[in-house]
């Protein structure tokens, strides 16, 4: 999956988190690995212009999605088999998202991960205009977000274990060789002599 990221918002954005959330959501929704996705972060005036141009609604918003016509969505159960294509564009407004996060007492990182997954679902044809659609989309969004954090937690645990193992091996001298050096002889020489033999 090819994901392009650009930050034109003037806000420090955790790009790795946004990209990881986008990649997780597309993989979980069985989007073809050859598909392409673009994520763009913009400031509030730019988002407000886009909001009125494309949605005919005033003021900025948190996220907008622009699916490409040639994509065959693979996430919905009634969709055809997906193929490599341009998935589309997700536009995030970190300034607006930060305000929402403060009001909801969430971190900006959490808000951006959630909005990224929300944007991916829009690209795949999910919507929340009607109550049934809203229930389906937000239920799926919450499940994906929970699974995303669970995966990151497992990866962080594995990395901490790897770091501990590396420090332990370094401290006891196992940095370059799987066997420690034996005093008074060549490395491994004791294992190479037959059992019961003595040195002449």
Residue 106 CA to its chain's centroid (Å): 18
* In contact, 32 and 82? CB cutoff 8 Å: yes
Contacts 24+ apart (CB under 8 A), 48-51: 50/91
Q: How many CB atoms neighbour CB 92 within 10 A? A: 27
Residues marked as binding for Zn(2+)? 118, 122, 128
Check residue 62 and report its DSSP letter. Answer: S
* In contact, 117 and 25? CB cutoff 8 Å: yes
Residues marked as binding? 118, 122, 128
β-partners of residue 72 are none
């Amino acid at each position: 999956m090819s994901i392009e990221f650009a930050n034109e918002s003037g806000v420090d954005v955790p790009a790795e988190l946004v990209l990881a959330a986008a990649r997780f959501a597309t993989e979980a929704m069985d989007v073809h690995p050859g598909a392409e996705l673009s994520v763009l972060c913009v400031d509030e005036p730019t988002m407000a212009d886009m909001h009125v141009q494309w949605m005919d609604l005033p003021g900025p918003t948190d996220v907008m999605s622009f699916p490409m016509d040639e994509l065959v969505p693979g996430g919905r159960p009634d969709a055809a088999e997906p193929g490599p294509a341009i998935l589309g564009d997700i536009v995030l407004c970190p300034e607006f998202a930060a305000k929402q996060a403060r009001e909801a007492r969430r971190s900006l990182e959490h808000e951006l991960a959630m909005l990224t997954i929300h944007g991916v679902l829009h690209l795949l044809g999910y919507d929340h205009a009607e109550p049934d659609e809203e229930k389906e989309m937000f239920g799926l969004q919450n499940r994906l977000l929970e699974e995303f954090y669970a995966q990151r937690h497992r990866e962080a645990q594995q990395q901490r274990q790897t770091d501990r193992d590396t420090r332990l091996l370094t401290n006891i001298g196992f940095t370059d060789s799987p066997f420690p050096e034996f005093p008074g002889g060549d490395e491994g020489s004791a294992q190479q002599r037959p059992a019961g033999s003595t040195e002449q």
